[in-house]
Amino acid sequence: MIVQLILAFVAGSSFTIAAPAPRDSPPSAPTNVTNFYPSSFDLSGCPGYEASNVVKTDSSLTADLTLAGPACNKYSEDLTDLKLVVEYQTNERLHVKIFDAGLNVFQVQEEVLPRPENENAPSSDAALNFELVEKPFSFVVRRKENDEVLFDTSAAQLVFETQYVRLRTSLPQNPNLYGLGEHSDPFRLPTKNYSRVLFNAESPYIPNNSNLYGTHPVYFEHRGDKGTHGVFLLNSDPMNIFINQTESGDQYLEYNTIGGIVDLYFMAGKQPADVSKQYADIVGYSAMYPYWAFGFHQCKYGYWDVNMVAEVVGNYSAAGIPLEVMWTDIDYMKLRQDFTVDPERFQLEKMRELVTTLHQRDQRYVLILDPGIHAVQGYGPYDRGVEKDVFLKYADGSEYLGVQWAGVAVWPDWFAPNTQDWWTNEIVTTFSPETGIDLDGIWVDMNEASNFCHDIFCNPAQLAKDEDDPPAPKNPPRPNTGRPIAGFPPSFQPTPSGSPMIKARNAKPIYPRQSNNGTMKGLPNREWFEPNYHINNRNGNLSDYTIWTNTTNYDGTRQYDTHNFYGHMMATTTHTSMLTRRPALRPFVLTRSTFAGSGRKVTHWFGDNASTWDHYRTSIRQMLSWVAMHQMPLVGSDVCGFNQNTTEQLCSRWALLGAFQPFYRNHAEISANHQEFYQWPSTITAAKKAIDTRYKLLDYAYTALYYQTTTGAPMINPLFYLYPSDENTFGIQEQWFYGNALLISPVTTNNSETVTLYLPQDTFYDFWTHEKIQGEGANITVSNVTWTDIPVHIRGGTIIPLRENSANTTKNLRKEDIIVLVAPDADGKAEGRLYLDDGESIEQSEVSEVEFSWEAGKFTATGSFAYSGASGESVTVAKVVVLGQESAGNMGKFDSEKKSIEVDGPWHMAGAWGFEV
């Protein structure tokens, strides 16, 4: 029956799918990437600066910096007078800021990234020490405990020009560097001839050695027993960061930015997770997401009508694969216009029926929004936006025009005072539970911002016409699929028998509003399009395929300086709108483009990857960086790949891998074959196993998320986080710890059933068999790993709560009793924790934070036990299973084959409890 249903879905249609260019691929976007290493100009003769008027206090240092000789003016004009401010903000955080004395150079606005509190820690108690060299100016940051030099600028003079800033630090040989996202490069960054470009850009196929969708200028450096530290540069301007060696072999990292200031935060660590926590103190702790967000999600660009969306939901049910959240891409819109529905293919009434049916089945629904608003009179969102003055403008007061999916488009100015109200009104009205589509989350895309205009000479109206944006729907409307869809209303079942008012532009607009002196909004009269220092943007010049960089925001700043957080602002504005729509519930907003601090409110997926083994592997190292280094925990890739056609084997492997990543969504592009998990026999089996295991472990993962949102401790751990002294772990990028207990080691070799994995010197247990395994700090090879298997090991010394059974939805999952799995370490000890709340409310009146402990044969559960559960939910522990036991105790059942003791409850978690075997 399942096979017949699938065949009907794939091949039974009497009409064809149109195949336009991939949705997330701008026409003719360049794909070749050339690395640009430090400039062709020789900067060795630049004079640098001299420090004077140095003033020290117990927790700070200030100084004037003056150009020490004739100006270089290599790329633009040198600034003569700078200021230096050094703050010992906490015992673990040092702030070093170098900026222009006139306060004209752009600084990131507080509303975009609120600054951390300066606690004015006494320098005598600080873990780091700042050392100033006055002439020529340089500085050193040193770890006091062991005298390790963490940052040293003495090897190259500071260059600070109107459109170019260069700062270089020396590094140890072959350093262990991580971060500097967003990228698809190795997790441990290369250290020779390597460049990172930070300029947000649409990036189909997530190319290597390239700028991608987000900007996170923070790096972690790990030095084994000598400690881990982090460095965050708070600067949103386009930049090249080089990691290389000099001709004499000296290692360095160098920042090259075309604007902004030097605003550095040093995090002392000393353990890797300590740096993660300290970074959260700077950019903000992650939002807490709803429990249902950990369920399995399904999407595809190319579900051509509401009936097809319903059929996919029905097919998952027929195949017995749990589906928590259904998504719909831009297909649902009328001619790709935000806040509309196609009146023939996604009729509002049937969309409302679809969502009602999903909610009755305890499932959820998410829709997409793009920032480009179709610029045509008579289109409500555009007309209301014009009335409220919310769009970016040319100097003459007319809207800035480009092209996005709906055709000729304008873009919201997120700084304009009425934009939040306008955007919220459109969301609240369109997605009204009473009259609109009662969705559960919003996905914001194309917000780098992506613009189909190739360059600054684009004529938007002509381009939209030439490239047929938006195309008319090619598929005829249909009342239903022609096939029954179990569980859906009768309307889904088989039946018995204006021109745009726009002004085209084809030349550079004149310079718009100038910023006032002393406002930190950016220097006027810069070269906005092609500055002398070249940023190695994958799309070419700065304004190619995006909003022109000379465009002025409402507050007087330029897109030149603010481009890298345009998507961040769209996403956080959407978050606020969702709060207005449902004030009591945690919003779920997924964004493609991000900036440092985006995780405070929204989450991210890794963009438009491809259905390749390489991108399957890439998703692991991306996850490690995003969760551990960028404080965005609920992340994941498009499972099975977005672009190109996947295969049964790849999709089966990816279904298993994705189940142990925080965000779990299958998503494909319109021209790709259907890849829903029910399409092949092995993916059906793999998905059932993967989701069954994921759901049993959902409380464990939810607990880890909670503690990342409150302490900054990452819910995904690179191996060196837990084994910081083991040099073998420093470069591992295809294994990870899910939480702090489960070591995930997927098969990563193409079309293979063998995996070589690393087991640190520690006690482990096979998750599937409970067999005790002693890690020797060496690689082991596991063969005969079938297409529906994935190696998972439990780290000794941990305790894992899991549900006794899985369920079709996360709501039903919460009705299942809990099992506690104890995995003692070599000393016979273990600990773990469990966090319980209602899963969705922002304000939690009752929560439980339970600490589990095992030592010397005694198990205890202590902590707070206020959460009693909603109707039908279980907060009962059915049994405790202790692994690695050689003999029976005084109570419980001993399994001589598995070497475990099982102690049956039940224990209702209304207070502390325990037992001794």
Q: What is the pLDDT of residues 160-211, one digit of tens each?
A: 999 999 999 999 999 999 999 999 999 999 999 999 999 999 999 999 999 9
Residue linked to tokens 């998503």: 667
Beta bridge partners of 267: 93, 230
Which tokens hold the place of 510?
């004149």
E strand intervals along 837-912: 848-855, 858-865, 876-882, 893-895, 900-908
CA 473 from centroid of its chain's CA atoms: 32
CB 719 within 8 A of CB 621: no
CB atoms within 10 A of CB 726: 17
CB 198 within 8 A of CB 564: yes
pLDDT at residue 744 is higher than 80? yes
Indicate the helix (H) or strand (E) that contains 820. Answer: strand 818-823
Q: What single letter denotes the amino acid at residue 905?
A: G
pLDDT at residue 719 is higher than 90? yes
Q: What is the pLDDT of residues 292-347, one digit of tens each?
A: 999 999 999 999 999 999 999 999 999 999 999 999 999 999 999 999 999 999 99
Which tokens hold the place of 388?
């409220």
Largest CA distance in the chain: 90
Q: Sign of dihedral through CA atoms 275, 129, 138, 83?
A: positive
DSSP letters, 248-315, are T--EEEEEEESSS-EEEEEE--SSHHHHHHHHHHHH-PPPPPPGGGGS-EE--TT--SHHHHHHHHHH
pLDDT of residue 431: 98
pLDDT at residue 515 is higher than 80? no
pLDDT band at 496 (very low <50, low <70, confident <90, very high): low
Beta bridge partners of 253: 169, 243
654 sits in the region (left: phi over 0; alpha: psi -120 to 50; else beta) called: alpha
E strand intervals along 92-147: 93-100, 128-133, 138-143
pLDDT band at 497 (very low <50, low <70, confident <90, very high): very low
Per residue in 381-394, is it b (16+ CB within 10 Å) or e — as a string? Answer: bbebbbebbbbbbb
Q: What is the pLDDT of residues 759-809, one digit of tens each?
A: 999 999 999 999 999 999 999 999 999 999 999 999 999 999 999 999 999
pLDDT band at 579 (very low <50, low <70, confident <90, very high): very high
pLDDT at residue 40 is higher than 70? no
pLDDT at residue 509 is higher than 80? no
Distance in angstroms (rounded) separating the CA atoms of residues 129 and 601:
33
Rg (CA), the chain: 28
Domains in the chain (CATH in brackets) are 49-283 (2.60.40.1760), 293-478+530-605 (3.20.20.80), 796-916 (2.60.40.1180)
Q: What is the pLDDT of residues 115-138, one digit of tens each?
A: 999 999 999 999 999 999 999 999
pLDDT band at 396 (very low <50, low <70, confident <90, very high): confident
Which tokens hold the place of 465?
């016409």
pLDDT at residue 3 is higher than 50? no
Tell me if the pTM is above 0.85: yes
**Which candidate, 792, 747, 746, places its Cα nearest to that of 768?**
792
Distance in angstroms (rounded) separating the CA atoms of residues 588 and 602:
7
pLDDT at residue 25 is higher than 90? no
Residues labelled catalytic? 445, 448, 608
CB 650 within 8 A of CB 619: no
Indicate the helix (H) or strand (E) that contains 821. Answer: strand 818-823
Q: What is the pLDDT of residues 528-577, one digit of tens each?
A: 999 999 999 999 999 999 999 999 999 999 999 999 999 999 999 999 99
Q: What is the pLDDT of residues 420-474, one digit of tens each?
A: 999 999 999 999 999 999 999 999 999 999 999 999 999 999 999 999 999 999 8
DSSP label of 634 = S
Average pLDDT of the chain to the nearest whole number = 93
Indicate the helix (H) or strand (E) that contains 705. Answer: helix 698-711
pLDDT of residue 30: 32
Residue linked to tokens 């965050």: 232
